[in-house]
Structure 1
Amino acid sequence: MNNLPLHIVADENIPAVESLFGSFGSIRRLPGRHLKREDVADADVLLVRSISQVNAGLLAGSSVRFVGTATIGTDHIDQAYLQEQDISFSSAPGCNADAVVEYVISCLYMLAAEQNFELLGKTVGIVGVGNVGGRLQRRLSGMGLNVLINDPPRAERETDSNEQFTALEQLLSEADIVCCHTPLTTTGSHPSKHLLNQDNLDSLKQGAILLNAGRGPVINNQDLLNWHRQREDVTLILDVWEHEPAVDAELAARVRIGTPHIAGYSLEGKVRGTFMLYEAFCQAQDILPELTLDDCLPAAELTDLTLNKTVDVRQAIDAVYHPAADDRRFRNSLLDTVQQPVNFDRLRKEYPVRREFSSLTLHGVDSDSVDGRLLLSLGFKLGGQI
């Protein structure tokens, strides 16, 4: 596949494909959810997201020699088939991990203001401690929160680790906030599909918060709905849904913050995912990369903010991202039940530009102060007076 130019097929919603892959050949943009065999028959390179199922049914007889998914998850890719066909493959683990972490933190600060509790006094349980969960653990621990982690595959691999893993039932019963960040697996000794279900949901503490920004089927949504009818004391935050783009209307009505699988949709996360595929492609083709990630990122609309003398952490968070707007758009998309799945995809396709905390430099706060250290732990940059 070293002969250029190449034919490249890419999901229409993957950013920066033209700037990163344009020098390699022609690019054809298509809706990822509806890719067909004839769409990729003459393609050399296929770039997808999590909504495209890449397997023999799609690729048999095609010219594709490189498949890249600009996502952390790979459950939509038949990697065994790719290996059998000697098709190079790359994913983008960790590309949008910081975006998901900041989605979680923003949601929790929003709830803390609504429900009048102090976030720093809570115990957070993280189920699945990989790229996203691990970064969430480090950021929350850096903020001073008590964090419990559950990850049986890691616990089995890391017998000599200093990490203290907690059994799922114990975590559910002790954590004030439970965050799910596992990949979706259906095989092996610890499958994650329906990990939370009617058998263990009732272990959640009274008044707990349950958040899923990993994969929808990790929580059995029908069980969650039936259970929540009796346990309305638990606050639900769902960014992912078991049968998306179809969303259960009653479950959505019970969720305090509902969003259409956009937790990782920061501009940095999206572009970083494409850039990781660019690097992997260059390596596979023995090409020296000529571009950097910064070459593809525009300046943020808001780069500096001076905080009031009485530092309000939420002021800084809200200046970058406030989940209420996403929740409102999501609820409006549910009003037309026939069009709801189409609306779900449209919200993702037309998602407004969102930046990460690191794009904002805060002024008026001392980096050695308690507030300064907290803001640095959250991921903001600190500057002097302006």
Structure 2
Amino acid sequence: MRNRKLNILADENMPQVEAIFSRFGKVILKPGRDLSPKDLHDIDVLLVRSITQVNEALLASSPVKFVGTATIGTDHIDQHYLESKGIAFSNAPGCNADAVVEYVLSCLFLTAEWQGFDPKDRTYGIVGVGNVGGRLQRRLLALGYKVLVNDPPRAESEEGFIPLHSLLKQADVICLHTPLTQEGEYPTQHLISDLELGMIQDHAIVLNAGRGPVIDNRALLDIGKKRLGLTFILDVWEHEPVVNAALAERCAIVSPHIAGYSFDGKIRGTFMLYQALCQYLDQPCEESFEAFLPQSELACVEQGDLSILELMEKVYDPRIDDYMLRHTLTLPEAEQKQAFDQLRKQYRARREFSSLNVAGAENPDQIEAIGFKLAAKG
């Protein structure tokens, strides 16, 4: 495998995958949700996203020797099976973490404008402080905001974490960024259900941009009907691509699992798999990430009277995704599921805050804390 041209099967929605991987051999593109064993009969390398379940049923009769997922999460990968068969594996931890953080900040600043509060006057609770939660924590702290964190595995060896029930009772804004796990000492499936939801404050904002089943969606809808002061923002859904239309109706902002769908993050995920395959093949990484990242259409803006929210909206406006998803929710279930996937498949090239240089910044420290770049003077 190390000294011949490879057959590489990749999810068709991985941007720049042909350009990045063509040096290794032939790149074949397929829809990730529809992959079957017959697609893999002569494939050496399989590159997927979170919608493809990679397990014995898919791989048993294939010659695949390397599997990569261009995602942070790995709950769709049977790593025990891969290890038992000597199949190398890599994911892309952190590839879209900044995109998720910026989705969260955009939604929160937009909600603050709608509800008439200053974001700095709220206490933020982050459940799960890994690649995404950790970066969100750092940006919020850089803005001078009060942040509470809960992460039981990390609390075993680090300080500064509090129990989940304490966070839920104290936080005005609760952000969920855990992986989805069903076993082990700290399972996260239905981590937030009836009991936990009963602990949160009446004015709380609950935002899930991690994994849908971390919140019991039935319980969330039930409490939402009783406590009208609660605000829900959901990017992920327990039974996606099926979306509970009644729950969506109760949410302030909804989206089709695209929080991490920045163009930068997608390319970064693909590029991280390129680096991993180079290492597996013991070949040098001859390309750079920047070589595959296009120039932003809006590279620089003068701040002038623009607020932080208005600057954010120059790059990303969550109302677009909210509108697009809600437009599908009256469709029959089979069509709605298909529409959910299409929204992800045909997602626009959304850039990250770092693609925008801000000139004449009134508060440069705040601008940089949010994630924008400061335009060079002169």
Pick one of 153, 163, 172 that aligns with 1:176: 172
Counterpart residue number, 1:220: 216
Question: Which amino acid is the alignment partner of residue 275 of structure 2?
Answer: E
Question: Which amino acid is the alignment partner of residue 382 of structure 1?
Answer: L
Q: Does 1:89 align with 2:89?
A: yes
The aligned runs of 1:220-299 (5 Å cut-off) are 220-299=216-295
The aligned runs of 1:107-256 (5 Å cut-off) are 107-156=107-156, 158=157, 161=158, 163-256=159-252
Structure 1 portions without partners, runs of 5+: none
The aligned runs of 1:303-382 (5 Å cut-off) are 303-308=299-304, 310=305, 312-338=307-333, 339-365=335-361, 371-382=363-374
Question: Which amino acid is the alignment partner of residue 368 of structure 2?
Answer: L
Structure 2 portions without partners, runs of 5+: none
Q: CA RMSD in A?
A: 1.0
The answer to whether the Cα contact below 8 Å between 1:364 and 1:384 also exists between their aligned partners in 2 is no
Question: Which amino acid is the alignment partner of residue 155 of structure 2?
Answer: A
Counterpart residue number, 1:104: 104
Counting matched residue pairs gives 377
Specify the SS of the correspondent of 1:28: strand
The answer to whether the Cα contact below 8 Å between 2:42 and 2:63 also exists between their aligned partners in 1 is yes
CA offset digits 1:101-145 (Å, max 9, x no partner) = 000000001001111100011100000000000000000010011
The answer to whether the Cα contact below 8 Å between 1:148 and 1:171 also exists between their aligned partners in 2 is yes
CA offset digits 1:63-90 (Å, max 9, x no partner) = 1000000000001101011011000000
Distance 1:268 1:248 in 2: 30
Distance 1:28 1:317 in 2: 37
The aligned runs of 1:20-31 (5 Å cut-off) are 20-31=20-31
TM-aligned CA deviation for residue 384 of structure 1: 4.7
**What is the TM-score normalised by the length of structure 1?**
0.96
CA offset digits 1:224-274 (Å, max 9, x no partner) = 111211122110000000000011110111111000000000011000000
Question: Which amino acid is the alignment partner of residue 318 of structure 2?
Answer: P
**Mean Cα displacement is larger for which, 74-83 or 224-233?**
224-233
Q: Does 1:68 align with 2:96?
A: no
The answer to whether the Cα contact below 8 Å between 2:354 and 2:372 also exists between their aligned partners in 1 is yes
TM-aligned CA deviation for residue 385 of structure 1: 5.6
CA offset digits 1:6-50 (Å, max 9, x no partner) = 111111111111111011111111111111111112100000001
Distance 1:197 1:291 in 2: 46
TM-aligned CA deviation for residue 4 of structure 1: 2.1
Runs of 4+ in 1 over 6 A off after TM superposition: none
Q: Identity of paired residues, percent?
A: 53
